[in-house]
């Protein structure tokens, strides 16, 4: 089998800025060879069995030389692998993609280029600085910052670009900032020209330092602004304060711990990111199939005996239908059953399988389910409850007290995870987490287990719970619960965080 290499631009740092084709390449790759500045969240999009190879490419600290990387690409492709060379920004914009493809072409290795969003235009855009603007700039140039010192034998035509282009964007130029500004002034650019240095552009760590060609060097030193950063020179910089939008997001720069399972974390990550936060994903639980499927098999053969099918989570829905499909069955098997979903997310999961929930309690809790089912009149009715081994016993007891006959079937297991133990400890001890989100009692128990019951580190952060049942589990574990979402959903949890930080900013 012939292999192939895709040179994929990962974008400037924000994982949401990768192209759709780039994401598709990641999802089908056998091998991913990635650089230092690639957002590690993108690696969650790859197949479990894919091989991940980190090659560094950090300034003055390369794990592999360019020659070794070239050889690695050839070797993996010759093994018949689909290889993604994941590069920050765009592979052909000062990314040495041309050198890598020259080697592939010479070796007869099939390849494709998947362009990416370059930091040269996206970092200024996220800072509210357009590289062109009618009346201010009708041209721009992208220039490497590595060729700015006289000793390096610069190939940059400083005498032409200094005054011949309206907006200048230098990438990888922090180390040579003094030399760049001096060259521009020497070649005719006014020392009062506005400039901005944008560090970690497009990410929640973004920092913008403004100045002029004459004073940006001391300003950068004073603010300790280092790599990775983009330097933008020109009148368009004046628009930063008027047009900045990213830094004004309510959760901008907040580091928020996401404790859900890996399979479910991305939904919360995405919503937090949209509000400007930096989600720190450390799953504290994992979802696995039930150890014995005998009971499930038996239940499927007796579905006609039940009146209601009750789902208390998205996981319950997915596990139940996965088992149904394993037996060559589909949603038609549920004919005659009424279906109750604990919340909108669970109801949405059901719709994927063609099932519209008959009942969705307004209060997404066990109490809400009991209140609604009481009105439905379930006395003498048989209810089937597919759930995990950690189901809330109060719900089962409450249903029984209403006169229902409840059969509980374990359709999946919720288990603790240890893999992020050292990372979460370090972040919490250093006080580098602003808020912790808990979306279920199992995430509470999982995180406490990771920390070996040392809750004092957790109480340094703001603790946000999705609902009262989760909050009760946190309180029982001696955690200080700072916030309970008004709406017991992921969207409700983020909305509550946004409201909290907006109020804090107004003080």
Annotated catalytic, 67? no
CB half-sphere exposure, 271, CA atoms < 13 A? 16
Nearest residue to 414 via CA among 436, 435, 444, 384: 444
Of 4, 57, 76, 87, the active-site residue reads 57
Which candidate, 293, 357, 350, places its Cα nearest to that of 327? Answer: 293
Residues 6+ apart with CB under 8 A from 174: 145, 197, 220, 225, 226, 227, 228, 229, 231
CA 78 to chain centre: 33
Catalytic residue check, 172: yes
Active site residue 57: yes
What is the three-state SS of 369-411? HHHHHHHHCCCCCEEEEEECCCCCHHHHHHHHHCCCEEEEEEC
Based on the number of CB atoms within 10 Å of its own CB, is 488 exposed (0-12), middle (13-18) or buried (19 or more)? buried
Between the alpha carbon of residue 178 and those of residues 185, 198, 354, the distances in Å are 11, 16, 63
Distance of alpha carbon 93 from alpha carbon 95, whole angstroms? 5
d(CA 287, CA 95): 39
Buried b / exposed e across 111-138, counting CB within 10 Å, b at 16+? Answer: bebbbbbbbbbbbbbbbbbbbebeeebe
The first and second tokens of residue 385, run together, are 């409850």
Catalytic hit among 30, 39, 76, 172: 172
Catalytic one of 30, 35, 90, 166:
35
SS3 string of 16-35? HHCCHHHHHHHHHCCEEEEC
Do strands 255-258 and 435-438 pair parallel, antiparallel, or not at all (unpaired)? parallel
β-partners of residue 8 are 86, 114
| Residues classed as catalytic | 35, 57, 172
């Amino acid at each position: 089998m012939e292999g192939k290499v895709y040179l994929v631009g990962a974008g400037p740092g924000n994982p949401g800025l990768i192209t759709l084709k780039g994401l598709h390449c990641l999802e089908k790759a056998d091998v991913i060879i990635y650089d230092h500045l690639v957002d590690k969240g993108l690696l969650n999009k790859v197949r479990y069995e894919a091989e991940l190879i980190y090659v560094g490419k950090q300034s003055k600290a390369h794990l592999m030389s360019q020659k070794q990387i070239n050889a690695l690409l050839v070797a993996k492709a010759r093994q018949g692998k689909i290889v993604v060379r994941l590069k920050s920004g765009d592979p052909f914009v000062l990314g040495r993609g041309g050198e890598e493809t020259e080697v592939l072409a010479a070796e007869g290795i099939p390849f494709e280029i998947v362009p990416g969003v370059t930091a040269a235009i996206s970092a200024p855009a996220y800072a509210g600085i357009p590289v062109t603007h009618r009346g201010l700039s009708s041209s721009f140039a992208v220039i490497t910052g590595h060729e700015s010192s006289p000793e390096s034998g610069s190939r940059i035509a400083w005498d032409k670009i200094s005054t011949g282009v309206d907006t200048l964007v230098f990438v990888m130029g922090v180390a040579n900032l003094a030399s760049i500004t001096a060259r521009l002034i020497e070649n005719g650019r006014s020392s009062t020209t506005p400039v901005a240095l944008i560090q970690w552009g497009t990410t929640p760590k973004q920092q913008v330092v403004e100045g002029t060609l004459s004073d940006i060097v001391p300003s950068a030193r004073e603010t300790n602004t280092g790599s990775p950063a983009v330097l933008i020179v020109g009148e368009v910089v004046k628009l930063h304060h008027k047009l900045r939008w990213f830094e004004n997001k309510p959760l901008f720069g907040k580091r928020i711990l996401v404790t859900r399972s890996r399979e479910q974390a991305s939904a919360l990550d995405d919503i937090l990111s949209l509000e400007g936060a930096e989600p720190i994903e450390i799953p504290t639980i994992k979802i696995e199939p039930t150890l014995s499927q005998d009971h499930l098999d038996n239940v499927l053969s007796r579905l006609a005996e039940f009146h209601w099918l009750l789902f208390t989570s998205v996981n319950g829905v997915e596990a139940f239908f996965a088992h149904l499909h394993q037996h060559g069955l589909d949603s038609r098997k549920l004919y005659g059953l009424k279906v109750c979903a604990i919340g909108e997310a669970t109801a949405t999961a059901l719709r994927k399988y063609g099932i519209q929930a008959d009942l969705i309690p307004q209060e997404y809790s066990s109490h809400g389910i009991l209140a609604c089912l009481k009105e439905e009149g379930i006395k003498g009715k048989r209810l089937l409850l597919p759930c995990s081994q950690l189901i809330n016993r109060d719900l089962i007891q409450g249903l029984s007290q209403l006169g229902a006959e409840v059969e509980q079937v374990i359709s999946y297991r919720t288990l603790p995870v240890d893999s992020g133990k050292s990372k979460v400890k370090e972040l919490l001890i250093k006080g580098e987490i602003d808020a912790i989100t808990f979306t279920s009692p199992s995430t509470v128990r999982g995180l406490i287990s990771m920390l070996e019951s040392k809750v004092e580190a957790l109480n340094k952060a703001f603790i946000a719970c999705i609902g009262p049942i989760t909050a009760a589990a946190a309180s029982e574990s001696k955690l200080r619960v700072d916030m309970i979402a008004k709406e017991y959903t992921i969207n409700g949890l983020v909305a509550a965080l946004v409201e909290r930080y907006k109020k804090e900013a107004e003080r």
